[in-house]
């Protein structure tokens, strides 16, 4: 299975590379003939893009023409510069992982050092949240509008026989039609036994708008295949050997692990599109502002499979089992939304009324072996909700509000979110908002079936109720400050393991959880040197027995950056990053559920992580070289990503990001 999947990925990536290389060579020849080359290099009259010389052939483009459009219709641009933020994002999830603690192997899960509740889901999800760090939701998908075909390749080496390669291509077939196609493949063996990661994320997007701006549609197709061998961490007898850096165990594969033949898989297919048609529109002749009345439809179909299998039961880790371990969990969901939107001076912005339908079928495959037949195999339902949105803008002030309430069906809940934004380009921005939700806990909290006797339950939980207040201030001079306060009632979690059955079961907190988070970011520059600082403070004033976070997390990077050689052909960035979080009773990772659960035996944290990096930019190619966690030799070996899961040792890694603009 792995050979077949890997060959398929290599073929796909080879096609994209050949296409990008061929077209890059073609445009290079064109520009050479038309004067676009100077001393073997493109003219660089723009900060991130070349300015095409022959307007008749290619036209004139600039970096603001290469647009990225988010789920919320916010627009940013493809950025080829080399900044310290690019260093932070050069990992397998392609996001800044400041609030995350990575496990030893690339492609494994993360321990969360902080939580965001600013945009909590309204409907419950399947569960297996530990696998969702590399999972692309509807809100993670972006759409594009580019004047010329654009290709991006991202590569990073893994740990022992592995790498990650993300290949992406987008183009406009006309001014109003765009599509993109991308595939991220990851395979990394790791240094410990039974921790192979093999991930594949395929994404296809499209968007189209008619010339008269009356009709528009956009959508995507996503296929995700996230496979992990699970070893359950090293056995308890190996902990003192690891912490003493015993010479016989420097080769990490010699450690015994808790699980030797466990495999977890999350597969998802999603088909999503949204469209709208303006049945009436007009433009003010003086102000040029548009008014319209539009109708629209949103459709989202998603089929998800979560599987956990073992060739032989691990009774000492999960308790007794009835038969062969082959658990298969399925969620089939369909979401439809009809909406009517009005934008006119009388409503100061756009007001939208929406009708939502959420149909779900959650349960277990027919061939799943379970230890009891007294529990149902599925949860099915059809839920109808109504709601509305309001989006307004007055010069530099923006107001966004969204409300939904479930009317009928087995699920109940409501959601109210409002944000007020004051911003002026990159000079400053100020955001303050609130979120109030009531939603059912995720499906795996309510019903679970397994071949392990202790992992079978059905619960009648109350809705989780969340009240969130958040604010953000960002200025060029003073940096960025984010704060949020969360009050959670009926917080649902996986509790402490039972001493006799070894069961980790879901529970609801009897008291409220009050969680405050403050994050500060500021960079200081002096000449060619810079000091980039990020600090996060966590405080759980109520419910700390069930909600665990470190008191603080800090990341500090001192680095040097400058152009080298005559003509500035190379931009260099080199420095050292220090990261540290305070020791705390972090949640334990449960590979059967792919969830984190409470434990009171082991603290992790309280150790420094030092990385040395050398990054470089040559035209639109950015090269990343890193010596990761080089300090255990003088700071000790008591470092863990989660209880029983050691953090990665000193490692040397390489990667690059390569842009083609055709």
DSSP string over 581-650:
E--B-PPEEETTTTEEE--SS--B----EEEEEEEEEETTEEEEEEEES--HHHH-S--EEETTEEPP-S
- 308, with CB counted inside 10 A (0-12, 13-18, 19+), is buried
Residue 338 has pLDDT above 80, yes or no: yes
SS3 call for 114: coil
Predicted pLDDT at 375: 82
Predicted pLDDT at 24: 42
Contact 616, 648 (CB under 8 A): no
Distance CA(388)–CA(416), nearest Å, equals 10
Contact 266, 135 (CB under 8 A): yes
Q: Which residues contact 319 (CB under 8 A, 6 or more apart)?
A: 452, 453, 454, 455, 501, 502, 503
| Residue 428 pLDDT level (bands cut at 50, 70, 90) | confident
pLDDT, tens digit, 9 for 90 and up, residues 40-53: 333 333 333 333 32
2-661, what's its fold? Maltoporin; Chain A (2.40.170)
Predicted pLDDT at 605: 96
Least confident of 381-385, 497-501, 537-541: 497-501
Q: Which residues contact 293 (CB under 8 A, 6 or more apart)?
A: 278, 279, 280, 281, 340, 341, 342, 343
pLDDT, tens digit, 9 for 90 and up, residues 240-282: 999 999 999 999 999 999 999 999 999 999 999 999 999 999 8
Higher pLDDT, 51 or 28: 28
Predicted pLDDT at 367: 62
Mean pLDDT on 318-326:
87
Contact 197, 188 (CB under 8 A): yes
| Residue 424 pLDDT level (bands cut at 50, 70, 90) | confident
Distance CA(631)–CA(609), nearest Å, equals 7
Mean pLDDT on 357-368:
86
Distance CA(419)–CA(225), nearest Å, equals 35
Predicted pLDDT at 4: 47
Residue 122 has pLDDT above 90, yes or no: no
pLDDT, tens digit, 9 for 90 and up, residues 439-480: 999 999 999 999 998 899 999 999 999 999 999 999 988 899
Predicted pLDDT at 364: 86
String of b and e for 14-50 (b: at least 16 CB within 10 Å)? eebbebbeebbeebeeebeeeebeeeeebeeeeebbb
For tokens 């010596």, name the residue: 627
CA 522 to chain centre: 24
Predicted pLDDT at 561: 97
Mean pLDDT of the chain: 89
Mean pLDDT on 396-423:
95
pLDDT, tens digit, 9 for 90 and up, residues 506-531: 999 999 999 999 999 999 999 999 99
Predicted pLDDT at 138: 96
Predicted pLDDT at 366: 66
Least confident of 124-138, 284-298, 404-418, 638-652: 284-298
pLDDT, tens digit, 9 for 90 and up, residues 66-92: 999 999 999 999 989 999 999 999 999
Residue 1 has pLDDT above 60, yes or no: no
Mean pLDDT on 561-584:
95
**Can you name the residues that pair with 181 across neighbouring β-strands?**
169, 204
Residue 30 has pLDDT above 50, yes or no: no
List, in sequence order, every beta strand (DSSP E) within 110-196: 110-112, 143-145, 150-157, 163-174, 177-188
DSSP assigned state of 453: T
pLDDT, tens digit, 9 for 90 and up, residues 497-510: 887 777 899 999 99
Predicted pLDDT at 16: 46
Higher pLDDT, 561 or 16: 561
Predicted pLDDT at 377: 85
SS3 call for 317: helix
* Cα 228–Cα 230–Cα 236 angle in degrees, nearest 5: 155
pLDDT, tens digit, 9 for 90 and up, residues 542-571: 999 999 999 999 999 999 999 999 889 999
Predicted pLDDT at 368: 66
| Residue 2 pLDDT level (bands cut at 50, 70, 90) | very low
| Residue 660 pLDDT level (bands cut at 50, 70, 90) | confident
Give the residue from 646, 651, 647 showing the smallest Cα distance to 234: 646
* Cα 23–Cα 29–Cα 33 angle in degrees, nearest 5: 145
Distance CA(436)–CA(414), nearest Å, equals 8
pLDDT, tens digit, 9 for 90 and up, residues 637-650: 999 999 999 999 99
What is the percent of the chain with per-residue pLDDT over 70, rounded to a whole number? 90
SS3 call for 370: coil
Which CA distances in Å does 195 have to 52, 187, 227, 355, 604?
Answer: 48, 11, 10, 45, 21
CA 255 to chain centre: 31
């Amino acid at each position: 299975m792995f050979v077949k999947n890997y060959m398929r990925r290599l073929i796909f990536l080879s096609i994209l590379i050949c296409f990008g290389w061929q077209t890059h060579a073609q445009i290079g020849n064109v520009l050479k003939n038309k004067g676009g080359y100077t001393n073997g290099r493109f003219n660089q009259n723009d900060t991130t893009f070349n300015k095409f010389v022959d307007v008749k052939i290619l036209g004139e483009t600039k970096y603001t023409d290469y647009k990225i459009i988010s789920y919320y219709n916010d627009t940013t641009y493809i950025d080829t510069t080399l900044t310290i933020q690019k260093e932070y994002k050069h990992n397998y999830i392609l996001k800044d992982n400041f609030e995350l603690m990575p496990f030893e192997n690339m492609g494994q899960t993360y321990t969360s050092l902080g939580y965001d509740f600013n945009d909590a889901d309204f409907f419950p999800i399947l569960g297996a949240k530990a696998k969702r760090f590399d999972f692309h939701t509807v809100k993670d998908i972006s759409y594009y509008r580019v004047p010329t075909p654009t290709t991006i390749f991202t590569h990073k080496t893994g740990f022992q026989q592995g790498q990650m390669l993300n290949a992406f291509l987008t183009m406009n077939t006309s001014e109003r039609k765009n599509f993109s196609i991308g595939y991220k493949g990851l395979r990394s063996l790791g240094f410990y036994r039974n921790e192979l990661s093999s991930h594949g994320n395929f994404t296809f997007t499209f968007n189209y708008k008619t010339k008269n701006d009356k009709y528009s549609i956009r959508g995507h197709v996503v296929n995700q295949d996230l496979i992990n061998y699970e070893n359950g961490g090293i056995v308890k007898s190996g902990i003192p050997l690891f912490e003493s850096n015993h010479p016989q165990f420097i080769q990490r594969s010699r450690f015994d692990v808790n699980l030797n033949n466990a495999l977890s898989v999350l597969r998802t297919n999603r088909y999503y599109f949204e469209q709208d048609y303006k049945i009436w529109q007009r433009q003010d002749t003086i102000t040029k502002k548009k008014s319209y009345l539009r109708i629209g439809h949103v459709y989202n179909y998603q089929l998800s499979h979560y599987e956990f299998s073992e060739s032989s039961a691990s009774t000492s880790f999960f308790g007794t089992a009835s038969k062969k371990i082959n658990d298969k969990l399925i969620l089939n969901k369909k979401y439809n939304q009809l909406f009517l939107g009005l934008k006119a001076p009388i409503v100061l912005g756009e007001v939208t009324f929406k009708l939502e339908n959420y149909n779900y079928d959650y349960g277990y495959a027919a061939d799943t072996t379970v230890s009891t037949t007294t529990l149902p195999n599925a949860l099915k339902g059809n839920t109808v909700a109504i709601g509305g949105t309001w989006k307004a803008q007055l010069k530099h002030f923006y107001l966004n509000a969204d409300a939904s309430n479930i009317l009928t069906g087995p699920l109940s809940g409501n959601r109210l979110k409002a944000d007020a934004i004051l911003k002026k380009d990159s000079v400053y921005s100020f955001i303050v908002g609130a979120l109030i939700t009531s939603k059912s806990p995720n499906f795996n909290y309510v019903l679970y079936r397994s071949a392990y006797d202790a992992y079978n339950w059905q619960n009648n939980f109350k809705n989780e109720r969340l009240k969130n207040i958040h604010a953000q201030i960002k200025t060029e001079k003073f940096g960025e400050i984010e704060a949020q306060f969360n009050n959670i009632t009926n917080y649902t979690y996986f509790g402490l393991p039972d001493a006799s059955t070894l069961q980790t079961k879901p529970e609801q907190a009897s008291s409220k959880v009050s969680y405050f988070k403050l994050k500060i970011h500021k960079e200081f520059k002096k000449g060619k040197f810079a000091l980039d600082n990020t600090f996060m403070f966590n405080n759980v004033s109520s419910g700390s027995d069930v909600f665990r976070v470190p008191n603080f997390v800090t990341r500090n990077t001192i680095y040097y950056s400058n152009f080298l050689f005559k003509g500035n052909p190379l931009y260099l960035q080199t420095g050292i990053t220090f990261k540290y979080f305070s020791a705390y009773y972090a949640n334990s990772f449960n590979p059967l559920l792919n969830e984190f659960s409470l434990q009171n035996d082991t603290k992790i944290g309280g150790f420094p992580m030092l990385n040395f990096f050398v990054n470089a930019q040559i035209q639109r190619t950015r090269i990343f070289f890193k010596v990761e966690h080089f300090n255990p030799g003088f700071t000790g070996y008591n470092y863990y990503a989660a209880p029983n899961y050691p953090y990665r040792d000193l490692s040397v890694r390489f990667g690059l990001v390569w842009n083609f603009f055709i």
